[in-house]
Amino acid sequence: MSEPIANVDMANAWGGEEGDQWTQFADEYDTSLRSIWARFLETDPIAPADRVLDIGCGSGQSTRDAARLARDGSALGVDLSESMLAEARRRASTEGLTNVEFLRADAQVHAFDTATFDLAISRFGSMFFSDRPAAFANIASALRPGGGVALLVWQATAGNEWIMVVRESMAAGRDLPMPPPGAPGPAALADPDDVEALLTGVGFEAVELTSFEEPMWFGADADAAYAFVGGIGIVKGLSEGLDEVARADAHEKLKAALRSHETPEGVRFGSAVWLITARKS
């Protein structure tokens, strides 16, 4: 039977150009999230015997770290992008990991073995579901009773300097609308009350949101940062519909913004992240 995919648009995006860009810049993505990921690991979410599911694992740094921490357990990373998964497998093999697997699957509908996992984690891979209750019910069914989730997601756009700067640069005089609440995208799980209702509605309890405010690092200098950020999905998405002149102008604005955020530690922007934790009842 072929693997079911409900998020067809996302599968096309992440399975195509977007996923290829993430694969090419896997090291840059990992480095940009370094401080945030360190905060996640500091919370000590993974026990040695855990069976961990990583939702939207991308090139798999989070899955591979989970596998190292769950040394008597295992880690399974699922993602929509074959190219990122291939990179994840290549890195896991180079690192000699034997308790990690990667699978192309839509976490919203994949038939996970029921009550198999102790913990579902995600590093910015759980905000793209077309049907959030269905997706989180599916993830809940993969967890054993008492199992947990630990998800990193972006807080509201206005509190994320890096997203605001990208939006302002790419607006090119347009009044860009904010996506509707809950819509698939960076801010889909930004509202604490909504997240609590969503998760308790599908069988989780003890829902907690912890705020991390850490710098995003985009490169050693503005040129390096532009080589990376100039091609990320949000930049491409926001520049759709601009003519050539307006697009070039928007990219110049982005370059200038990157230059103005150069520091001795590289190009850095503020970010605001939720760590969402909850337990399956």
Ligand X SMILES: C[S@@+](CC[C@H](N)C(=O)[O-])C[C@H]1O[C@@H](n2cnc3c(N)ncnc32)[C@H](O)[C@@H]1O
Q: Alpha-carbon distance 55 to 42, whole Å?
A: 20
CB of 54 to ligand X, least distance (A): 7
CB closer to ligand X out of 58 and 147:
58
Footprint of ligand X (CB under 6 A): 7, 10, 14, 29, 56-59, 62, 78-81, 84, 106-108, 123-125, 128-129
Question: Cβ closer to ligand X: 124 or 204?
Answer: 124
DSSP, res 112: P
Q: Cβ 8 to ligand X, closest distance in Å?
A: 10
Q: Shortest gap between Cβ of 106 and ligand X (angstroms)?
A: 4
Could you give the count of Cα atoms lying within 13 Å of 43 in the half-sphere of its Cβ? 19
Cβ atoms of 3 and 15 within 8 Å: the answer is: no
Whose Cβ is closer to ligand X: residue 128's or residue 222's?
Answer: 128
22: left (phi over 0), alpha (psi -120 to 50) or beta: alpha
Closer Cβ to ligand X, 80 or 143, answer by number: 80
Residue type for 237, please? G
Q: Is the dihedral of CA 80, 83, 84, 88 positive or negative?
A: positive
Please tell me the distance from the alpha carbon of residue 211 to that of residue 185, in angstroms, as a whole number.
19
CB nearer to ligand X: pick between 156 and 246: 156
Minimum gap (Å) between residue 255 Cβ and ligand X:
23
* Closer residue to ligand X, CB minimum distance, 108 or 242: 108
Distance CA 62, CA 55 (A): 10
Q: Do the beta carbons of residue 89 and residue 56 sit within 8 Å? A: no
Nearer to ligand X, 233 or 259 (CB): 233
Q: Minimum CB separation from ligand X for residue 259, in Å?
A: 25
Rounded to a whole number of angstroms, the minimum distance from the CB of residue 98 to ligand X is: 22
Residue 236 tokens, joined: 């491409």
How many C-beta atoms surround the C-beta of residue 72 within 10 A?
Answer: 9
Residues whose CB falls within 8 Å of the CB of residue 164, separated by 6 or more in sequence, listed in order: 157, 158
**What's the min distance (Å) between Cβ of 258 and ligand X?**
20
Rounded to whole angstroms, the Cα distance separating 125 from 148 reads 16
